[in-house]
Each structure stands twice: as C-alpha cells, then as structure tokens.
Structure 1
Amino acid sequence: MKFMKRLLATVGLTYLSVLSAVFYFANGTFTNIIIILSALSAFVGIFFKVIKNKIRINKSLSDLLITVGLTSFAACIAIILYSNFIYEPVIVNYSDKELNIEGYISEEIQKNENSYVYIISADKINSNSENVKIRLISRVDLKCEDFDRIDAKFTVSKAENGYNLSKGIYLTAFYDEENDSFESMGEKQFSLYSIAVNVRKAMKSSLDALLPENTSSLCKAVLLGDKQALPYDIKDDFSKAGTSFLIVVSGMHLSIIAGFILFLLKNIIKNRYALASIILAIVFCFMAVTGFTPSVVRSGIMLILTYCSKAVFRRTDGLNSLGTAAIVLTLLNPFAVGDIGMLLSFSATAGIVLWANKIEIFLSRKLRLTGKNKLIRGALNLISVSLSASLWIIPITTIAFHRVSPFVVLTAFFAEPIVSVILICAMLASLLYLCPVISFFAYIFALGADVFGNLLLRIISLFASIPYSCVNSDKPYFYLWLIFTALLVVIGYAIKAKGFYVRCAVTASAVVLTVGWAVYAIIGNNSATLKIYNVGSGVTASVECGSNISFISCGGANSSAYQIIEDISGDFSSIDSIIIPNTKLKYSKYLPQLMSEFDVSNILVYDNNTDKKSLKKYGGKIDTFSGDCHFTINLNSLTTLEVINIDSVTYQYLNINGSTVLFVTSKSDIAKLPEKYRTCDYLLVDSNVKNSNLLSCKNVIFSGDKNLLESKYNSIKEIIDNIYTTSDGVAELVFSGGSNVKDK
C-alpha cells in the first residue's frame, strides 16, 4: 500500500480521530498537547525530507508524518474556531435566560411515555434575527404539528448531550405550564425535508396498521430508526446481546436496501448511467427519510462514490471513500463527532475494509475450504465481517458504554440475515400499503415481517439471557489491555507483519487480558464497593465484593430500572440478598425487575403485611420483619449489615471493610436510634433527617435529582459540608480496608 494512493483516507480518518479526541476529552491542556504533537510530527516529516539525501529514509514516511501533523493541527484549529465563534456566542447570549422565540418545528415531534419533544429552529430571538436550534421538552401536548410556525416564551439552558450538539442543538428547555407560553401560528414552514418527514410518518402508520405492536415497533426501529415505541425490555435485550446496531438505522441497512434495488433493476435497466442515477436517487431518499443520520450519510457517501465509479468503469478504494465521508460530515460541523453512532459506524467500517477479507482467507485456509460452496462462503463472509467490525468497535463501546458483549459475533451471525429479510419486507409492506390499487400485496410482506420479526426477538432474547452476555469493561486492566493491543496492531502494520507476528500478537494480547482479569479478581476479593445509583427520587444502593452483590434498597423512577440492570448484569448473574427497608416505591420499585432478571437467594421485606403479589413466583427464601427489632446479616466476607427497626422506621448500619455507613429512610428520628449507631463514616439519606445534630459523621451521600438536592441542601449541609450526590451519576465508593476509601 502506497501512502499517496490513500491520501484521502489518511486525511479524513486522522481529522475525524483528532476531532473526537478533542471533543470527548475537552480541556485546554489536552488540546495543547495534540497541537504540539501535530507540529512535532509535521516538523519531523519536513526534517526527513530535507536530509533524505544524507540518510536513507522512506519517502512515504516523511509524507505521512507531514500529512498527519498538518491534518491534526487543522482539526484542532477547526474545533476551537467552531466552539469560539459558533457555539459559545449562542451559549453566552441565551443560556439560562427567558427568551421570546419565533420559529418553526423543524423535526418530527417525538412522543415518549411521559413527554413530548419538539425541535425548534428559531429564526428570531427577542426580535433579533437568529438561526438557533432548541430542544423543548413538555409533559403536555402543546397542540402543534410538524413544521408549524410558532411563537413561544420559555427559559433555556445549555444542551449537554453530545448527540444534541452533533445535530446543532445547543439549547434545551423544559416547558412550564404556569410560567411559559407556546402558540402555533397556523402557518407551515415548507421545505423538501418536510416531504421526507411526511413519508416517514406515513410509512410508520402503515406498519402500525399492518402489524402487531411488538413487531410494528421493531420494524419501525429497523427500517426508520424510530425506537420510541420499542418496549424497554426489548431494547434492553438488544443492548445486552451487543446488537443495538441492528435497531439503529446505519450503513448496513442502507447497503441492504441499495443491494436489493440493484438486484431487481440490473437485468431490467442495461444503461449503467441510468442505473447508477436511480440507485443514487434511492440512496438520497433513504437518507432524507431517516433524518440524515450520520451513519446513514456516511454509507450514502461511500455508495455514491462506488456507483459513480462503476458508471465510469473505475474501482473505488474503501478507505479513501471512508475518509471522504469523514471530511464531508465534519468539515462544516466539527461537533458531528458528538454522535457516538457515527463513530461506531466509521470504526466498524474501517475494521471491515481492513480485516474482513484477511480473516475470511485465514478461516478458509484453516478449514481447508477449496470448493465454491456459496452457502459456506457466505457464512464465512458473514462471520468475518461481524468479527472484524466487532473488534474495531471495542475501544469505543468500552469508553462510551463501559461494556462489551462476548457473544456479539455469534448473535450477529444468526440475527443479521433475519434483519435483512425484515428490512426488505417492512419497506415493501409500508410503501405498498400507501398505494390503494395494489395495497393488498402489503399484507403478504407484512406477514413475512411479522414472522421474521418474532424470530429475531426470540433469538435476541435467548442470547441476552446467557450469563455474562454483556460484560462490564470499565476496569483498569481492560483499558491497559486495549492500549497494549492497539500498540501491537500499530507495530504490526508498521513492520508489515505476517502470520508468525499475528499469532504471537494474539497470544500476547490474550495473556495480558487473562492476567489482568486474574489480578483484578484477586484484588476485588480484598475490597468492597458501595454504589448508590442516580434514580431520581428514591434510593437504590448495592454492596459488591468479588462475585457477590446485595442491595440494601432498590427504588426510584421507572426510567432507571433497566440502566441498573444493565450495569450489574455485566459482572453478576445472581444477587445474594435484597433488603427492602420500606414498602414505599422509592425503596422497593425495582424488586420485580431484579427478581425476573437475576437469581436472588434471599429477600428481606419490612412489614408482615407487605403485599406479596410480586413475590408469588419467587422460589427463594423470603423473610419479613416488623415491630421493634434488631438483627445482623453477613452480606459478604467484608460486609456486615445491622438492621434496626424502631417505631416502624428501618435504619441500616453497614460495616464495610472497617468503614461504617448509616442508611436512614424517610421519617427517621436520630434521637430514637441507639447512640452507638450515631457515629459513622458515611451517612446515606434521601430526605431531611430529624435531630440530625445528634449525628457524628464524616461524609453525607444524598440520593436524589438536582431539584430535590436544592430543596434539601441547607438542612443536609447542617450535618456536614462534605456531601456526595447522585444527581450527576452513580456515587461509588471502594473500601480497601480501614480508612482506605477511594471515591470513583
């Protein structure tokens, strides 16, 4: 491979990588380091060119160093300029202020279980001409339609979510019925994109009319990327199985549709220019109908380059096409890298281009396949593509989602062919249903979509139920393994390694991962971790030690249940104990979900009169307690729990590897708690504590959202100034013995 043949690949992928690094690890020092390294790379490359006659240096190396250095420098400058002159002025001028807004609804209105989401393109703010996008969330229907012009007044704040930033949405707002106003002006803002949105809505209505709810929501996700209607348990299964990419419209989906259309037309239309034009028109229409999702646009650009090249009898280079797509997507909006889906798409595609063919050849040789059996070759190709894509997205999934799915290749092997069938059947059914004369044909394809949709759901559910189908990768040894493996890959490409190096590198990588896991497991058995999850109003807290996990409370908002299950399922397949200190939902809400997802050995529930409907099918041990009582439980080898129930209020006192934690529920009165339990290292609360002045503690952990924290802050601060909170995420404490406690 000569460097100049893949100049676009080098420029595009370097530009994308540097933008991503600066965006996600945003701080001045990090950016300055990259700028210095970029300048150093370009300087070294120029230096090599100057002394090339004195020292024998590969010309491609100096060209590569200069190109990478200049591209990296350009990427840093681009994101700095965009941030300072496009993004920051919007934040400075409008964030945390009440605004009078004129504009229009620029996207399809999203209706969630408890809210409505409106994307507003504001062309006037406080009577000044502007061009700003705002994401407005309302608990009530604001009585407007897509692309309606609106006149509104509400307070906005800075949008934090990377996906919103990638879409050019820099401000967000929550509609307050009492203080805010919102009015539809009765006019429509016309655009070509509004036609695509109307087509999308018509296709969704067709699928709803033709299919049962579960398969209809699945088909809408697979075909159009609309996951709003998918039940939480189905989305959770796809996440656990590592196959969420199947229900996110991506390049794979566009390639399948383009390939299907080409298959239908190639024997009908012989003129290559006409055929290429039709395929390109279909590609653009699909991009528009799916909302110009970055991963689809990436695939669309590559397909456009491929078919244009075929029209003039030229071959395209996959990496150059990928690099071109990266430049097109990020040149005008460097914040586009905020969309994790786009990064996953680029990473997976790079893996397929670089490794899929090599893996297929390797497997063919090992299996000694010399025949031309299309079925076997097709299976090998599918395995190679899935394996190469899965390996290349591990760094991103580890950093972004803190998990990996060991069975993803096997799952994808069975699921991807089924998704192809569902995609084609759903597309034909939804479009044919809109044509009155031939709409009856839609039912045939709808039947296919329903049958294969149910089959896909069963397969995904089966793989998701396998223990450790999703493994928590947020471990120090895993990051070290990733860095070590990446270095091996870079060295391999640098020395143009062959089979022996590959075998040694794979073995070394496996050894490092195994040793890291073993060392971490040994260390883990000598420490315990207390996690208090961000569940809104309520408390969900777990104690982990080695292979043991117990919950001392499991309640909160509905939306947090599957996040908790997803977090713990990466490390545990069973739960030792669940203690319910109070039957209020803020302490017990998640009990049914935990029981259905995990093997629970013991459940301890406060109050003999507790409603046990959710426990009827439970086959483990259930204990209840009421009245004034006091008992001790060994949660694991490093943790003991004392439960003290006084006047219908439960107090839990934990000794975790030498440190003490007192958990008090609502309506607690410290004056009634025995004096020996009033001294602790950590106090866990979710509400005001009566007679808190009697406590002696070093730290307070408050479980609740920001609004709840603000309302309780002054009373909590009276206990002690050092306050941990779950309002911004999980509060995690690692107890390694004595006073050695690490806040993660």
Structure 2
Amino acid sequence: MKRPLALVGFTYLLTQAVSVFLGAAGALLLGAGCLLLGLLFLLLHRGKRTQCMVLPVAAFTAAAACMLFFFSSTPFSQAAEEYAGKTIQLTGVVTDAPDYSSGKPHYTLQVETCGGRADTPLVGRKVLLTSGETFSAEQFDRVTGDVRLSAPLSDGYFSRKNSLLADGVVLQGHLYEFQPYTVEAAQIPFWQALPYRIRQGLLDSFLQDLPSLEASLVSGVLVGEKQAIPAAVSNAFRSSGVSHLLSVSGLHMATVAQMLLLLLGLFPLPRRAKYVLAGVGVVFFMGITCFVPSVMRSGVMYLVLLCGGCFYRKADSLNSLGFALLLLCLASPFAAADISLLLSASATLGMILCMRPVQRFLTARAPKGRFRRRLLNAVIGTVMTSLSAVLFTLPISLLVFDEMSLVSPLANLLVLTPSGWMIYAGFAAAFLSLIPPLNAISALVWKLTDALAKYLIACTEWCKSLPFSSVPTDYRFVKLWLACMLLLLGVCCILCRCHKKLPLRLTALLSIVVLLLNLLVYQPDANALKVTIAASGEGVSAVVSYAGHGAVIGFGADSWQTERILRRCGVIKLDTAVVLSLSNRECQQAAVVLTDFHPGNVVLPAGTELDGALEQVVTASAGSCTVAGEQAQASLWHRKVLMTVANGAANLQTAGLSMLFCGDSANLENAPAGLLNAQVLVCSSLPKSENLLHTSMTVLCSYQNAIKSYVQQRRGLPSILGGGQDLVLQPKNGAVRIRRND
C-alpha cells in the first residue's frame, strides 16, 4: 500500500458518516458485519502481496469506526434522552465567544453541575444556551440558573442536531431571566487568556485605524470575527462563491504558516527549529481565533504538514489529509456530520487529485519566456484550484446549501491572491502600530490594507451583479440527477480497468444528457400563481410570484433565503415589498433584499421610527413608499392578488384563498373584518387578540416561541416550518395545492 494513512483516514470518515446516519444500533450491526468481512478477506489474501491487504485493512478500519461510534455516542444519547424537555438548574462555563450569527446571542455552556450534582450524564457535556435581551455573558464566565432543555431539530443527516453534536453540543437550552441566575467572571491562567487578549487588541486596532466597513471585513478575514460584517457584504461573498474567506480555514493557516516561515528564515536557526516555531505560531493563531471547529480542523491538517518538514521528510498530501481526518474523527464521534469538515476534506482532495495533471499539462505546453510561463501557471493554477474544489464539493453543496455559484472560478481568480496580501498587511500594520517610531510606516500599511479590503468588496459585488451569478439547486430533479451521476461514476471506475479514456468521456456525456432530460421533464410553470413561505425558523417571510413578477411579505428570514426563493420562482421584477415590523433584524434583512431587487413599492408599518439603513435604502432603491396607518390596500397583476396591510399584519386574497401574515408586533384588536376571516394564519408567534381569528390552518415559522401558546383545539394541528424546506401554496380553480419546496 502506497498510502496507508489515506486509506485508513478516508475509510474511517466514510464509515463514521454511515454510522451517524444509521444510529448507534445500526452502527453496531454494521461493525460486526465489517469485522466478519475483514476476517474473510484476510483468509482469502493470506500469504499474498502487501497490495492485496487493502480490502482487509479497509474492512477492519470500518469495523473499528462503527464500534467506536457505538461506545462513544451512547453517552450523548443518554444525556439527551434523560434531560430533553426538562427545566433544571445548571452551572457551567461559557467555553466559546458568543455567536451572534442568527441575530441573537448563543452561548456554548460546558456543564459542571446539573441539579446541584456533579455525577449526572449531562455533566461534562455542552449545551447551546440562549436567553433574553438582558442576559449577557462572556467567554470563560461561569453561569448558574434554571434552564429549559430541549432536543435540537432532527430532520435528516445534515440536521441541526447532528451539526451541534459534531461540535460536542448535546442539547439546546433557554435560560429563564425571571428566575434568579448568576454570572461570575472565572479566573483563568495568563497563558490561556493571552491569545484572547491579543485577539481583542487586534480587533480594537482594526476599528481604530480602518473605516467601519473595511474594519469589519478585515476582522472577519484575519481572525474570524464575522459578527460586524454587514449582511450585504456576506451575501456578496456567498453569491460569488468566496465565502470561505470569511471563515478561518486552510487558506488562512497556510498564509500564516508561510508568513512565519518567511520571518523565521531571517534568523540563523536550524530547519527543525523553524518548523517547530512555525507550528507553535499556528497553534497560537488557533487560540486567537477562539479554537472554533473550522480552525481546529485546518490547524490539525497544517500541523501534520509541518511535522513532515520538521522530520526532514516530504509530506505526502493524501497521507497527510487521511491522517488529519483520522485524528479529527477520533476526537469526535459525530465529526463526519460536520458540513465544514466534509467541504474542507472534499475541496482539499479535489485540489490534490487535480493539480498534478494540470501541472503536467502546463509543463508540456508552457510558452516561451519566463514571465509568460509564470503568469500562465498562476492564472490557470488559481482557476483550476477553484474548479477542482467546486467539482469535488458539488454533491455536498447541492444537498445542503440549495444554491451554486457559477462565478466562483472568476471570483477566486480575482480575490484569492489579494486576500493573502490583505492578511499579511493587516497583521504587519497591527504589529508596526505597537512601535511609535514606526507609526509613519504603519500608516502606509494601514492604507494598503484599506485599499485591499475595498478591492475585495468591489470585486464580490461586481461578481454578484453578473447574470446568473448564483442559481438555486433545491429542485427535486437535482438530487435525482446527482444520484444518477454518482452511479455513472461508479460504473466508470469499474470500466476504467479496461478502457481508460472512453468511460470518463462517456460518463461526462451521459451526465449532461440526464441533466437535460430532467430539465425537460420538470418544466416549472412560471406563469402559475404561488405563495412560498420561507422555512426561516425565526420570523415571517413569504414570496408571492406570478409570471416573472413578485411581492415579498415580511423579512423575518435571512436575506439570502428570501433572495433564493425569488430567484427560484423566476422573479425578474419585484413589484411590492411589505415590512411587517421595524425590529432591528427585519430592517437589516429588508435593506439587503431591497438593495438587490429595487421594488416598485415598499409598504412600511406606522407609529415607529424608521431604521436609518432601511430609510436610506428605501429612498435610493424603491420606486415609491407607502406607510400603512390604519389600513393600506394594493392590487397586483390585474387584480389577481388583493393585499391589505394594517396593524403589523398583511392579508392576501387570491383565487379563493385568504392568508394572514402577522409580524412580531401585530395587533388584531381593531383589525378590519377581512383580516380576521382569513383561512390561513402565518406567524412566528401568535399575535395579540389572536382569539378573534377563525383560521382553519396555521403556519408557525418559529415554533420554539409559538408552539407553547398554540391552542390545538381552536385551529387544529399547525404546520411547522424550520426544517429547511419551504412551504408552497398554489391556489387554482377554488382548490389549494400545498407542498414542500418545488
């Protein structure tokens, strides 16, 4: 076997993924089968060449992965089953910096005592904690209070439950503020607190010496501080296919390690000492970025490469990747359920497998001239790096993100190298700022960092503005095509033993034919009137579409979710946008969507002060603005849709269907009779005076808040969103067709 670590690492990862899907009991049975299969292979290949040991080694590795998953995942399951749905007093330490990615702070709490005891199954496990607006805690704080525990949503392999388990989080919890609770600042050793103090110093330096927009981007790219990055910038990076720059990963680790090796090269140190010090610097950088999971993965992978250089050996890329994956999977029984790990492993594997043939191709056809050869290698190398990463991560992206960027190769070509320069310049400027005699030089480096940040923002915005920069992929036929493509690829691998070229070309041709056939069979009716309610898990957001025209009611979902639905429904012109509440979250998400789609009319609720950013966007992007006082009405698309907005709620009447969308501040006490007679209620939390409603169906967009007060006897069972699949209602001929997604 040329690469035993690659075989063991990838086999362990794939088997662990299957074990997560099957569960502990299924993993135990699978492990027993793999063990028997390994013994059978061992008997059949006894006394033969080492190359014949591939199958026995793979089978025994799979058996070990299944057995370890069974024994290591059982404590997680026991803790979740025993405490889910209970309210109990917990004491624990906040292990990570608060996460504000969803608009509300989430704290990772490592439990020290449960119900005053230190010997329960939950002790030593992690709980994802939320609370009200008055609660605040920092990293390393010790929190004590009554917590309502609940199990995360489990609706498939890439569910929130598996994602949290990959990070070691067993349950979700809500801390009751009306009950007594304490937050104590824990005393931590100086060496443990030093990386976080340096991190805070860097963030303060960025904010002091850079404009706010550029400072937020530099903070996100250099140290992973993404909370202050505006939603418009994040959307532009994601639509351009370069959102990996905003998460500290392998690219950042490689840049930091190369920078350290370059600096250490200025000193007369032995080779081994340089690699050891570079490894220490990588670990320290991991501490500055708070040891988040993506940083841990990329850090471990790069430390493995540095170990090869430390021992005067040239590291084999596949072996190093397999060894790193093995370490990560051994550290967590649910590591294979982490989307970031799967994407990182797939992208790295793609670059390793594809770059060597590309280099041979370039070497054979390199033009004359040193400068031209280097330029060609740089351009094609960057493009092929992006293409290989996109190709190998395509199956995961199609299954998870429901969106694919078509301009990713172009965007990566434009921003990858400048982003590395920005990392160098940002760290150099922060370091030079500490030396007063070098303030003039640091000012120049800060200007360079600012210019590079502006360039990255401008490039991603331009790439996003290109036609079909990103396309939705959450249609059902896409998964069918993906399954057919993987099946054809498997057949191709078998046939390649006889024909090396024909099966590969035939596979590519058949994949294109199958995709075209699926497109012809699918034929979505773009002229059909339909209402799509976003599965936001937060607030109300719905898109009404008809013949290329659209209207948005509510912006409770993330802006990228709303824009994805608009693109999926083929909306070319956004005629109306209704803002149901003026909360900070809804205003921020509305500002992004309105900037990108320029609606003809914006309807705003009355009685409160308009958010500054939203006011600026409405003034610049909207054709007209209507403030809904007691009542505002609008007729759309030749009276196919009649919309009435009042009291923080919007009533939609079309083709015999009446729907009522209620924002967070909706009050139906003095609402018109037409609103109260709606057939379908869509809300994140039940509105005030909800007893006046006579709806026969209720759609809960944020079931955590609404299900507690929902009265089952009055309106029947609710339809709960939040599992990643939007709800589509299509009225036609007096009937309503209801389905998930398209």
Letter in 2 for 1:511: V
Q: How many Å apart are 1:247 and its aligned residue?
A: 0.9
Deviation digits for residues 694-734 of structure 1 (CA, Å, limit 9, x no counterpart): x7x5x4434554323432x22x7424x24323365655136
Aligned to 2:155: none
Q: Which range is displaced more, 571-580 or 68-77? A: 571-580
CA distance in 1, matches of 2:594, 2:85: 43
1:260 partner SS: helix
Aligned to 2:704: 706
Quick check: 1:18 aligned with 2:41?
A: no
Q: How many Å apart are 1:445 and its aligned residue?
A: 2.6
Aligned to 1:743: 739
CA distance in 2, matches of 1:524, 1:42: 52
CA distance in 1, matches of 2:630, 2:92: 61
Q: How many Å apart are 1:11 and its aligned residue?
A: 1.6
CA distance in 1, matches of 2:351, 2:489: 15
Alignment of 1:593-608 (within 5 A): 593-600=592-599
Cα gap change, 1:63 to 1:191, in 2 (>3 Å): farther
Q: How many Å apart are 1:397 and its aligned residue?
A: 1.9
Alignment of 1:8-407 (within 5 A): 8-23=5-20, 25=21, 32=26, 47=40, 50=43, 60=51, 63-85=53-75, 87-109=76-98, 116-129=105-118, 130-140=123-133, 146-148=139-141, 150=142, 152-158=144-150, 160=152, 161=160, 162-184=162-184, 187-190=186-189, 192-266=191-265, 268-269=267-268, 271-362=270-361, 369=367, 372=370, 373-407=373-407
Letter in 2 for 1:20: A
1:178 partner SS: coil
Quick check: 1:5 aligned with 2:5?
A: no
Deviation digits for residues 541-595 of structure 1 (CA, Å, limit 9, x no counterpart): 22346x63522x52254x6344323443466462353264989889996665433
CA distance in 2, matches of 1:539, 1:99: 31
Deviation digits for residues 250-276 of structure 1 (CA, Å, limit 9, x no counterpart): 011111121233234346446222222
Question: TM-score, normalization: structure 1?
Answer: 0.82
Question: TM-score, normalization: structure 2?
Answer: 0.82
CA distance in 1, matches of 2:604, 2:404: 34
Give yes or no for contact 2:34–2:62 (8 Å, CA) kept in 1. Answer: no
Aligned to 1:724: 719
CA distance in 2, matches of 1:591, 1:309: 50
Alignment of 1:657-696 (within 5 A): 660-663=657-660, 667=668, 672-673=673-674, 684=682, 687=687, 692=693
Give yes or no for contact 1:532–1:732 (8 Å, CA) kept in 2. Answer: yes
Letter in 2 for 1:503: R
Letter in 1 for 2:179: N
Deviation digits for residues 374-414 of structure 1 (CA, Å, limit 9, x no counterpart): 12212221112111111111122222211111111110011
Deviation digits for residues 602-651 of structure 1 (CA, Å, limit 9, x no counterpart): 778999xx99986554575889999999996448xxx9324579999974
Quick check: 1:457 aligned with 2:453?
A: no
Give yes or no for contact 1:204–1:430 (8 Å, CA) kept in 2. Answer: no
Q: How many Å apart are 1:244 and its aligned residue?
A: 0.9
Q: How many Å apart are 1:669 and its aligned residue?
A: 9.2
Q: How many Å apart are 1:463 and its aligned residue?
A: 0.9
1:292 partner SS: coil
CA distance in 2, matches of 1:295, 1:593: 27
Letter in 2 for 1:181: Y
CA distance in 2, matches of 1:321, 1:450: 36
Aligned to 1:550: 550
Letter in 2 for 1:74: A
CA distance in 2, matches of 1:292, 1:645: 47
Deviation digits for residues 662-715 of structure 1 (CA, Å, limit 9, x no counterpart): 4476638999559xx9796x565664666655x7x5x4434554323432x22x
Q: How many Å apart are 1:102 and its aligned residue?
A: 4.2
Q: Which range is displaced more, 340-349 or 64-73? A: 64-73
2:575 partner SS: strand
1:331 partner SS: helix
Cα gap change, 1:703 to 1:203, in 2 (>3 Å): closer
CA distance in 2, matches of 1:64, 1:524: 51
Q: Which range is displaced more, 95-104 or 197-206? A: 95-104
CA distance in 1, matches of 2:19, 2:386: 29
1:327 partner SS: helix
Q: Which range is displaced more, 175-184 or 38-47? A: 38-47
CA distance in 2, matches of 1:220, 1:645: 41
CA distance in 2, matches of 1:316, 1:581: 56
CA distance in 2, matches of 1:579, 1:111: 26
Q: How many Å apart are 1:343 and its aligned residue?
A: 1.9
Give yes or no for contact 2:580–2:605 (8 Å, CA) kept in 1. Answer: yes
Letter in 2 for 1:154: D
1:741 partner SS: strand
1:718 partner SS: helix
Letter in 1 for 2:304: L
CA distance in 1, matches of 2:584, 2:194: 45
2:228 partner SS: coil
Give yes or no for contact 1:702–1:724 (8 Å, CA) kept in 2. Answer: yes
Q: How many Å apart are 1:311 and its aligned residue?
A: 4.1
Aligned to 2:576: 578
> Which consecutive residues of structure 2, in runs of 5 or more, have no partner in the other structure?
153-159
CA distance in 1, matches of 2:138, 2:632: 59
Give yes or no for contact 2:601–2:622 (8 Å, CA) kept in 1. Answer: no
Letter in 1 for 2:67: I
Aligned to 1:519: 521
Letter in 2 for 1:122: V
Give yes or no for contact 1:351–1:388 (8 Å, CA) kept in 2. Answer: yes
CA distance in 1, matches of 2:289, 2:147: 30
Give yes or no for contact 1:262–1:279 (8 Å, CA) kept in 2. Answer: yes
Q: Which range is displaced more, 373-382 or 452-461? A: 373-382
Give yes or no for contact 1:153–1:180 (8 Å, CA) kept in 2. Answer: yes
Cα gap change, 1:629 to 1:181, in 2 (>3 Å): closer
Q: Which range is displaced more, 225-234 or 727-736? A: 727-736
Give yes or no for contact 2:660–2:678 (8 Å, CA) kept in 1. Answer: no
Aligned to 2:504: 502
Aligned to 2:156: none
CA distance in 1, matches of 2:116, 2:628: 64
CA distance in 2, matches of 1:579, 1:214: 27
Q: Which range is displaced more, 244-253 or 485-494? A: 485-494
Give yes or no for contact 1:429–1:446 (8 Å, CA) kept in 2. Answer: yes
Going by fraction, where is strand more abundant, 1 or 2? 1
CA distance in 1, matches of 2:602, 2:136: 47
Q: Which range is displaced more, 405-414 or 9-18? A: 9-18
Deviation digits for residues 428-448 of structure 1 (CA, Å, limit 9, x no counterpart): 222333456656643333222
Q: How many Å apart are 1:353 and its aligned residue?
A: 0.8
Letter in 2 for 1:512: V
Q: Which of 565, 568, 574 is the matching residue for 2:566? A: 568
Q: How many Å apart are 1:155 and its aligned residue?
A: 1.0
1:374 partner SS: helix
CA distance in 1, matches of 2:443, 2:196: 24
CA distance in 2, matches of 1:728, 1:47: 43
Cα gap change, 1:42 to 1:513, in 2 (>3 Å): farther
Letter in 1 for 2:192: Y
1:667 partner SS: coil
> Which consecutive residues of structure 1, in runs of 5 or more, have no partner in the other structure?
none
Q: How many Å apart are 1:181 and its aligned residue?
A: 1.0
